[in-house]
Amino acid sequence: MNPKNLMILASVVVLLGAAHAGFAAEATLGPAELRARAKAFILPLPDKMPGAEKDLPAQIELGQKLYFEKRLSVNGKQSCNDCHLVDQNRAGVDNEPTSEGAHGKRGDRNSPTTLNAGFHFAQFWDGRAKDLVEQAKGPVLNPGEMAMPDEKEVVKRLEADARYPQLFKAAFPGEVSPISYHNFARAVAAFERTLITHDRFDDFLKGDDRALNAQELQGLNLFLTIGCTTCHVGPTIGGNMYQKAGIIHPYANTNDMGRFKVTGEEWDQYRFKVPSLRNVALTYPYFHDGQVRDLGSAVKQMAYMQLGKELADKEIAALVAFLNSLSDKGRKASR
């Protein structure tokens, strides 16, 4: 090799080294400094959900039973837990792109997790229910989900049961007719308010320097510096605003107009609730249509669609490592 080429090669090596050192130097920010930066955007999940202070143990217990109650579907085939599996330490989802209803027909949106949902500012991908109580009234009567004909039929089934009359009485003491559709929803919501998760990232935020490994810290640093926190922010790292899917480059599937269906406002076209990223490594597949199976691919698409950035494989791997630290300890995916 002639000396000139050698010089060029040497400077390329130096440049590459510098770029690499830059990435590494950022990542070697001390944990204390990273923690302080992170806490400007994200705080640990609170110990209680809003409204939980009024939940009676008997309401939570009843709500849990109702969450698993298949007789709340028209043909006795489906409960909330069929699409939002929380038993056996599962992550509040079915890990399917879209879910089959009691009649076996699929809807067109992905089932989000019920874990931590009570922290969100509104429910559903388009925010059409204001809280968990309003939300719980939806699926039972939705023809594509549990498909019960009307509220009366639900109340009739509960009244005819051997145990529910007593359980509702205990859960709603002093009420003249404790079994009602509204109280069914209140009890389910009380149970859902107990679904709070605990992960290594919160351990880190609370002061444990060793809760995250080096790659996870790099990912956190990237998450904070490239702009993910513009939208994924707050204790749930999402779940507190609507944003357009595909701000800079459009999302591949433009069939679903998102919040536009609720408000009819042009501004709301393709806007969705920014999903919480807590437990995201367990809640695949991704996006409102569940069409992206791989977390790395979801991260890559987000950076491109929302921030106009093309990330290197190493950066994607670091972000994915960080997102894995947001999984509830001991929980796992359904399949």
Asked if 274 is part of the footprint of ligand HEC (rule: CB under 6 A), the reply reads yes
**CB count, 10 Å around CB of 227?**
15
Asked if 257 is part of the footprint of ligand HEC (rule: CB under 6 A), the reply reads no
175 counts as catalytic: no
Applying CB under 6 A, the span of 4-12, 43-51, 114-122, 206-214 interacting with ligand HEC comes to 114-122
Amino acid identity for residue 175 in this structure = E
Minimum CB separation of residue 99 from ligand HEC in Å reads: 4
- φ/ψ region of 270 (left if φ > 0, alpha if ψ in -120 to 50, else beta) reads left
- Interface pattern 127-156 for ligand HEC (x via CB under 6 A): -----x--xx--xx----xx----------
- Whose Cβ is closer to ligand HEC: residue 9's or residue 156's? 156
Asked if 172 is part of the footprint of ligand HEC (rule: CB under 6 A), the reply reads no
Asked if 228 is part of the footprint of ligand HEC (rule: CB under 6 A), the reply reads yes
Q: Distance (Å, rounded) from C-alpha 73 to C-alpha 101?
A: 9
Contact yes or no for 326/91 (Cβ under 8 A): no
Q: Distance (Å, rounded) from C-alpha 321 to C-alpha 316?
A: 9
Tell me: cis bond preceding 57? Omega within 30 of 0 counts.
no
Asked if 193 is part of the footprint of ligand HEC (rule: CB under 6 A), the reply reads no
What secondary structure letter does DSSP report for 258?
Answer: B
Q: Site for ligand HEC (CB under 6 A): which residue of 38, 62, 74, 80?
A: 80
Q: Site for ligand HEC (CB under 6 A): which residue of 38, 60, 64, 112?
A: 112
Q: Among 38, 193, 63, 57, which residue's Cα sits nearest to residue 117?
A: 193
Q: Distance (Å, rounded) from C-alpha 135 to C-alpha 299?
A: 28
Asked if 51 is part of the footprint of ligand HEC (rule: CB under 6 A), the reply reads no
Q: Which is catalytic among the residues 69, 145, 192, 216?
A: 145
Q: Distance (Å, rounded) from C-alpha 244 to C-alpha 272?
A: 6
Q: Distance (Å, rounded) from C-alpha 282 to C-alpha 330?
A: 11
Q: Distance (Å, rounded) from C-alpha 290 to C-alpha 111?
A: 8
Q: Site for ligand HEC (CB under 6 A): which residue of 302, 318, 321, 326?
A: 302
Asked if 251 is part of the footprint of ligand HEC (rule: CB under 6 A), the reply reads yes
Applying CB under 6 A, the span of 22-30, 42-50, 118-126, 162-170 interacting with ligand HEC comes to 118-126
Q: Among 79, 60, 85, which residue's Cα sits nearest to residue 157?
A: 79
Task: Kindly list the residues in this chain that would bind ligand HEC in the complex (CB under 6 A).
Answer: 78, 80, 82-84, 99, 101, 107, 109, 111-112, 114, 117, 120, 123-126, 132, 135-136, 139-140, 145-146, 188, 226-228, 230-232, 243, 245, 247, 251, 272, 274-275, 280, 283, 286-288, 298-299, 302-303, 306-307, 319
Catalytic residue positions? Answer: 145
